[in-house]
Structure 1
């Protein structure tokens, strides 16, 4: 976790915008005003998993009041992968005293191997009396192969279905993350049983030794992820849901953490890599709910 200093503190809800350009390996260097109009001074060059804070400053766009400028930051994403990857970065804006004001996620799609992409993030309409010096911090960096990136909206994937995970729920050590599938194609889509799940660690290596259980009730009841599995046919526009259920109990042994899960809706389906942030503790078990038709949408 790295941080750099902003010239203004942030308060309230933040409205963020991002834009930028792609550059060849080696990437941008030194202060500059990007297309977003961030008149940034050099940052400290701190890097977290390929994300580098390159500058801090005030945006030229101004806020809601005449003459007001908005705090902004420039950062770069550099890919060391061998295929295009899509990055999701969580940023935290802190006051000068270290109080967290907001956490915001930015997605940088399809960064090519060896390329560096520059982005600018701006906190729009920050009240003038919120100035006082704060810090911009990279909390987490997650990346998935662009060919396997989940999609909740936008163009329909070649597979004809969208697959994505929700933000999940947690209470008393129990975790539940929903998996959602939409038939965005033109033909009926058949499901029968449980999604195929593969666990992946921070280095994108497969995680072994975890027992994958069919039915969320194998972990806990009343989660909505109980069996039995029944055959489904989704007409175009219809949706289905499944989910992952686990406990993060830690006892003897090394805890297992797998940020990613590679999901195949059924045998032979194209894989989609979601980010449920699986903190399995030492339980060694993950419950998988059956596909059920989603009648709420």
Structure 2
């Protein structure tokens, strides 16, 4: 009786439910459809690149819209040489615009983001909202007063004016990125700096700035790309003699009565190659930097 009672009183252990069997056919079909969709979209994206690349190696008579898909009858590098001769000065001017504007806008945005995120003051949210408001103003709406302002300031057209404009218009987005990133920095680090007697600038320079590498990568890539591909500011505030590569590429494509498609395609590849290399080399850091500012920690 005692043994039977103990057996009745002992808790019964439930057997684990049987594992669900996956259907190999269904899993294989879903994976196949997924890869097929990815390959399809990849082909759609690469079709313009194929036309650009193939046409850039075609001669004058061979580069015709009716033969856009065909391979060159005779492969030639003359289009690349002509495009490089026409665009190389403009590419150098574009580098002179893009590098300082990206660095200055990133540094100013870092300072703004630190102050707005970690050194709160009365009206900080209002200041942040006003700064972000600059992101939503179309460039076309302010082009005429902006042109008059540049004339009144006496800034030379070309590289100096474009640097100033890209810095000013880059501050809102850089401030937003850095503010979101600095909000994830542990508050104890800031308090430890204050306890040690560090002021605002000392805390920023010695504690916060070394932690800002991911956000600086994101901001520099963003500013580099937007400034390199800019055409509206370049048209209004520069000329073919002192403008960036986008203006030179437009003149190269429309400067002749008889359109030379091969030279235009080679020039377009030259103009897009720097941004492509930046994303290939730093693409993983760009995504990682964006994600680092999206998680509280």
TM-score (norm 1): 0.20
TM-score (norm 2): 0.20
Q: Which has the larger radius of gyration?
A: 2
Greater share of helix:
2
Greater share of strand:
1
Considering Cα pairs closer than 8 Å and 6+ residues apart, tell me whether 1 or 2 has the greater RCO.
2
